[in-house]
Amino acid sequence: MVDVTQQLFNGLVGGGFLAMLALGLAVIFGMLRVVNFAHGAFYMLGAFGAYLLLTEAGVNFWLALLIVPVGLAVVGMVLERAFVHRLTRLDPLYNFLLTFGLALILQDAVKSQYGTQSKPYSRPALLDGSLNLGLFEYPRYQVFVLVFALVVCVAVWLVLARTRVGMIIRAATERPELTRALGIDVGRWVTPVFGFGIGLAGLAGVLAAPMRAVHPAMGADLIITVFAVVVIGGLGSIFGAVVAGFAIGMVQALGNLYVPAASQILVFILMAVVLLWRPTGLFGREEVLT
Amino acid sequence: MRSVAGRSAAVLAAAALVLTGCGQGGPGGGGGKISGDKVVLGVINDQSGVYADLSGKNSVEAVNMAIADFKKKHPDSAIKDIEVVSADHQNKPDLANSKAAELYDRQQADIILDVPTSSAALAVANVAKQKKKLHINVGAATTELSGKSCNKYTFHYAYDTYMLAYGTGTTLTQEGAKNWYIVYPDYAFGQDMNKSFTAAVEAGGGNVIKSDPTPFPNDNFSTFLLKAPKLNPKPDVIGTMQAGGDLVNLVKQYNEFKLADKGVGLAVGLMFITDIHSLGVEAFEGVTFTDAWYWNFDDKNRKWADRFQAKTDTRPSFAHAGNYSAALQYLEAVERAGTDESDAVVKELEGYEFDDVFARNGKIRAEDHRMVHDAYLAKVKEKSEVSEEWDYEEIVSTIPADKAFAPVGDTQCQMG
């Protein structure tokens, strides 16, 4: 029993990363109708940002946790203004191509500059060691990651549910034309939301640096699972993305425990089943195409 | 008018080229038995992906060093000119296949060296067989190259999964690590390693309690690591067959869960010195693995490593030294044969015994084209013991050449 609890906890930690990445993808898709293929690359840039700040400028983990996401959010906003924005009115395929190409460029640029080998990054001293959780001991850092991911998700949810900005974003996500007709300037919020989504990916990257291998392909390896998470949760559904993120994390952990050989495809089997049962995903709504 | 004139000029130029080509190859060329008057060494490897650091462009540099040394030793050689051509196979077998054909046919390569990634290596071995040109594989691990898929023109040089498994698996088991838990990436290399390791552990009198395939690539190994201390009986050691980024992930998480404190050791199936360098020696302290060659093993290696570093700014991995040695032994064989004609060179290589900076007690077995040589059981030093950059390994013991590789009878090679 302890075993399974521990594994589920494990899954929650892995799920925290998936949830944060899926959340960013979901808000971007909701607001812009763009599937951001470069999301994994920004996750990778987040981890590299933390590594570079430490080695080049001696900036520690805690500051990196603040600087990197903000910096990447700014990069994201510039990209939105410079490229993404120009293509949103065309066929969605154009933005597929743009973000996909961007992902390849970013990944190869990092590869040619810093090589393919993983970079070292150690845990902050404060989070060394392990914590007694009653039933079992667990590495302090991983507990921190889980708590942090939960806080981020709840905070985003509060902003969306309780603030005026959140209301506008939700309205624009669900009925962009109608929101505009009510005299609300939706366009103003598109760029910050894109930047915010990218910032979340960067944040997940910084969190990953101390516990995962920091290398140029780290985002590309993970992003496929994140896409499955977003599809299972329901495209554009923010709540769905978070719930599915944590759920898939646990499914993967249990898969590794009981059927290691199949754990890789388990997520995709689950995705297929969900799509057969609810073609819009668990929390997605039928979209009326106009 | 002008266009006609232009075309005629092109035709003339082409004709001139063809004629010069004929002249060179003809009896008057004066090259004797070396085709085209020069020997062309081809190198195919990963120049941009996960294996770029451990072989990559620096392997081409190592081959250049072999050429320089050969020329110095044989100033009057019949080989007037030696050239190196290289290609990036991005670890894809289909790309390796077409690049190999291109190098042999269009660039007149007499031999292809290196070729990491087992599936790509098997593809190149097949092309070598069809074209009747040589392939000396340095970078790939599969025992199939000198086993089921062996052929007359392919040689397997630096290491293989048997060597890795025998060194680490058997030795650690005999030293008291009786119970093993193996985790391996779920693709050809990992499955091959799992089989070899299980056999090696059992041969040493140990027991593999469980072996789990893991997704590839994978960034979360915590499930497997948490499972380990709870298995019954508790494993003495986790044997990981992960490589590259996955290995780094696993080791980071192994340290995070403090499994060493819980009495579960870590043995790594395949590790290159570049892995230790990238993650920092702290992460791997005390980890045992088998190495085919270590740059700081003795003075001879060190001197070569110094020359290598002067050119590349980095210390050599065993793959770099292996490529140097393979290129050198090939050129020596051409020199002895007096021709670069494949069959004659193969005859010279078969059964040849030698010692060089890479291979100690080296012998190229005629039966299966496996080059056997001494291998080394290595332990990663504690950080406090590291006296200079890249000096990460302590060589615990030397595994003699006749023990380090599978016996001839066991390799299932039918040379055809």
ipTM of the shown complex: 0.70
**What mean pLDDT, rounded, does chain A reach?**
89
Q: What is the CA radius of gyration of chain B?
A: 23
A22 pLDDT above the threshold of 80: yes
- In chain B, the number of structural domains is 2
Based on the fold, state whether residues B174 and B65 are members of the same structural domain. Answer: no
Q: Are residues B205 and B304 in the same domain?
A: no
pLDDT over 90 (residue A169): no
Option in B214, B248, B256 nearest A118 (CB): B248
Residues B309 and B392 in one domain: no
The C-alpha atoms of residue B177 and residue B237 are separated, in whole angstroms, by: 7
Q: Do B214 and A213 touch (CB under 8 A)?
A: no
Contact B52, B7 (CB under 8 A): no
pLDDT at B4: 44
- Which residues in chain B have Cβ-Cβ distances shorter than 8 Å to A252? 220, 223
Closest CA to B385 of B281, B290, B309: B281
Residue of chain B nearest A261, judged by CA positions: B213
Instruction: Give the helix/strand (H/E) hosting A161.
Output: helix A140-162
Select the residue of A6, A141, A211 nearest B226 (Cβ to Cβ): A6
Chain B hits for A10, Cβ within 8 Å: 220, 222-223, 226
Q: Where are the domains of chain A?
A: 13-215
State the burial class of residue A185 (Cβ atoms within 10 Å of its Cβ: 0-12, 13-18, 19+). exposed
No. of helices (H) and no. of strands (E), chain B: 15, 15
Residue A144 has pLDDT above 90, yes or no: yes
Q: Are B189 and B118 in contact (CB under 8 A)?
A: yes
DSSP string, A43-108: HHHHHHHHHHHHHHH---HHHHHHHHHHHHHHHHHHHIIIIIHHHTTS-HHHHHHHHHHHHHHHHH
Answer whether A55 touches B (CB < 8 Å).
Answer: no
Regarding whether B122 and B232 lie in a shared domain, the answer is no
Q: Residue B51: list chain A partners with CB under 8 A.
A: 116
The closest alpha carbon to B319, from B167, B144, B115, B151, belongs to B115
Task: Please give the pLDDT value at position B6.
Answer: 46
Same domain, B214 and B282: yes
Nearest CA in chain B to A262: B215
Q: How far is B274 from chain A (nearest CA, A)?
A: 8
Our CA-based measurement puts residue B215 at a distance from the nearest CA of chain A, in whole angstroms, of 5
CB contact under 8 A, A117 and B258: no
Four-CA torsion B347, B114, B327, B406, nearest 10 degrees: -50
- Chain B residues in contact with A141 by the CB 8 A cut-off are 256
Note whether B276 and B391 are same-domain residues: yes
pLDDT greater at residue A99 or residue A168:
A99
Interface of B with A (CB under 8 A): 48-53, 186, 212-217, 219-220, 222-224, 226-227, 230, 244-246, 248-249, 252-253, 256-258, 274-275, 277-280, 282-283
- Do B229 and B98 share a structural domain? no
Chain A residues with CB under 8 Å of B186 CB are 261, 264
Residue B238 domain-assigned (yes or no): yes
Any domain includes B282: yes
Q: Which of B50, B186, B230 sits opposite A116 (nearest CB)?
A: B50
Of the CA atoms within 13 Å of residue B178, those in its CB half-sphere come to 5
Shortest CA distance from A224: residue in chain B? B217
Residue B263 phi/psi, 5° resolution?
Answer: 80, 20
Give the separation between CA B359 and CA B369, rounded to whole angstroms: 15
What separation in angstroms does the CA of B374 have from each of B163, B358, B380, B404?
A: 10, 9, 19, 7
B85 backbone dihedrals φ, ψ, rounded to 5°:
-125, 150
pLDDT of residue A5: 86
Under DSSP, is residue B381 helix (H, G, I), strand (E, B) or coil? coil
Token pair 């893991």 in the structure block, residue: B214
Residues of A in contact with B224 (CB under 8 A): 256, 260
Q: Say yes or no: B272 and B381 in one domain.
A: yes
Any chain B CB within 8 A of the CB of A13?
yes
Q: Does A213 contact B258 at a Cβ distance shorter than 8 Å?
A: no
Chain A residues near residue B230 by CB distance under 8 angstroms: 3
User: Does the beta-carbon distance from B223 to A7 stay under 8 Å?
Assistant: yes
Q: Where does residue A28 rank: exposed (0-12), middle (13-18), buried (19+ CB within 10 A)? A: buried
- Tell whether B266 and B185 lie within a shared domain: yes
Coil, helix or strand at residue A193: helix
Q: Which domain holds residue B148?
A: 35-159+297-373
User: B219–A212: do the CB atoms touch at under 8 Å?
Assistant: yes
Tell me, yes or no, whether B275 and B310 share the same domain.
Answer: no
When comparing pLDDT for A208 and A33, which is higher? Answer: A208
* B226:A7 CB<8 A: yes
Residues 111-170 of chain A whose Cβ lies under 8 A from any Cβ of chain B: 111-112, 115-120, 122-123, 130, 139, 141-142
Residue type, B290: T
Neighbours of A250 (CB within 10 A): 17
pLDDT at A286: 63
On whether both B135 and B149 belong to a single domain, the answer is: yes
* Residues linked to residue B372 through DSSP beta bridges, in sequence order: B363
Which pLDDT value is given to residue A199? 97
* Residue B4 is assigned to a structural domain of this protein: no
In this complex, do B280 and A120 lie within 8 Å of one another by their Cβ atoms?
yes
**In whole angstroms, what is the distance from residue A241 CA to residue A229 CA?**
6
- What's the pLDDT at B302? 97
| Residue of B176, B187, B318 whose CA lies nearest to B243 | B187
- pLDDT of chain B, 416 residues: tens digit per residue: 444 444 544 444 444 444 444 333 333 333 457 887 899 999 999 887 777 888 899 999 999 999 999 999 999 888 889 999 999 998 889 999 999 999 999 999 999 999 998 889 999 999 999 999 999 999 999 999 999 999 999 999 999 999 999 999 998 899 889 999 999 998 778 888 999 999 999 999 999 999 999 887 787 898 899 889 989 899 999 999 998 778 888 998 898 888 988 899 999 999 989 889 887 888 888 889 999 999 999 999 999 999 999 999 999 999 999 999 999 999 999 999 999 999 999 999 999 999 999 999 999 999 999 999 999 999 999 999 999 999 999 999 999 999 999 998 887 898 86
Is A120's pLDDT higher than 90? no
Q: Is the residue at B10 inside a domain?
A: no
Chain A residues whose beta carbon lies within 8 Å of the beta carbon of residue B277: 117
Domain containing B196 — which CATH number?
3.40.50.2300
Backbone φ and ψ for A85, nearest 5 degrees, come out as: -50, -40
Q: What is the pLDDT of residue B27?
A: 36
Could you give the angle at the alpha carbon of B384 between the alpha carbons of B380 and B390, nearest 5°?
50
How high is the pLDDT of residue B107? 94
Chain A residue whose CA is closest to B186: A261
Same domain, B179 and B205: yes
Assign B396 to helix, strand or coil.
strand
Min Cα distance B216 → chain A (Å) is 8
Tell whether B174 is covered by a domain. yes
Q: Which residue of A has its CA nearest to B281?
A: A120
Residue B394 DSSP symbol? E
H-assigned helices in B146-280 = 161-165, 171-174, 188-203, 222-227, 244-256, 273-279
Sign of CA dihedral A180, A184, A185, A186: negative
Give the helix ranges, DSSP H, for A209-262. 218-233, 238-258
State the amino acid at position B20 in one-letter form: T
* Record: contact A211-B252, CB cut-off 8 A: yes
Question: Strand pairing partners for B273?
Answer: none
